[in-house]
Structure 1
């Protein structure tokens, strides 16, 4: 029995990088992210902006090491399959191992958002934005979470911040006249 427990511990430990002790610093993609955001802002069509936005995800989901990458990827796969509890457990492990890696918080927030647990999602989004101030997806996710909490003015402000970075976000329609985040007095 002791051998089985030891084997299980080693399997779990290796999946979260406990072999090396602590998470290395995440790759610094801030210049690349800023460059892509500038290209998105200059894009002439939504389609062109969308293709550029995919490059942002490549930066954001570049985990600090192989162990962290494996846990992130597994959590994202579970989330995509609607195994939200399993995804949250993976993101919990990732955050415990790499507490300064923004995407762990962003992905856990997304899983909470899909569960409509907006109260749990909001602190994770705040932390992701603190760690990665130009994380457009976390900022727009924060807007949607605040909308879910019926905190309309804060949601409008967050979405405005996201749209300053990426004016082509699909969520921009929420601020159109008649939309739930339309500025006051701009009815249809």
Structure 2
């Protein structure tokens, strides 16, 4: 039996991949597992939505935020149960400096896929921008529980932990 016709946060392969992610011994092995997880998350199983996703990601990469927002808005309207649609729009809102909208979309992402380490790390970045170090640290720590091999999240958590300790003195 092959892979399911659809793939997204409901894909049955993810449970094993997340177990594997917690038990790998090297960052290179973790990156390989992480790559597969992201590839599953980004596939909706619907050609039209996948086309909108590619357009949105490409537009975001070119900093054509207006076009990217149109694509991601369409995705979350057509497929509100597709976690990566919300996550990509959250990323776009972050890049646009619209942190409250980004946080709202991260909440939608996590409601659909609580293991979304990318959304959790993104939440941490937003709280850094909002100067809420305690919330940022919590978000990075949550991401690291799911994916212990996130170097930027680990670094940010260490910096925030030290900053909070220094303030407590």
Partner of 1:95: 76
Instruction: Note closer, same or farther for the CA distance 1:74–1:157 as it changes in structure 2 (3 Å cut).
Output: same
Find 2:156's aligned residue among 153, 174, 178.
174
Contact kept, 8 Å, 2:72 with 2:86, in 1: the verdict is yes
Q: CA deviation at 1:34?
A: 2.3
Find 1:75's aligned residue among 47, 56, 59.
56
CA RMSD, aligned part only?
2.1
1:36 aligns with 2:36: no
Paired with 1:82 and 1:34, the residues of 2 have a C-alpha distance of 34
Compute the TM-score of the two structures, normalised by the length of structure 1: 0.78
Find 2:97's aligned residue among 107, 111, 116.
116
Find 1:146's aligned residue among 124, 127, 134.
127
Divergent runs of 4+, >4 A: 24-27
Deviations 1:109-156 (A, max 9, x none): 111111222122110001000011111111111111122111221111
The number of aligned residues is: 161
Partner of 1:184: 164
Q: CA deviation at 1:181?
A: 4.5
Contact kept, 8 Å, 2:7 with 2:43, in 1: the verdict is no
Rg comparison, structure with higher value: 1
In terms of mean alpha carbon deviation, does 120-129 or 42-51 score higher? 42-51
Unpaired segments of 5 or more residues in structure 2?
Answer: 1-5
Q: CA deviation at 1:25?
A: 9.8
Deviations 1:23-49 (A, max 9, x none): x996721x4222112212112111221
Compute the TM-score of the two structures, normalised by the length of structure 2: 0.87
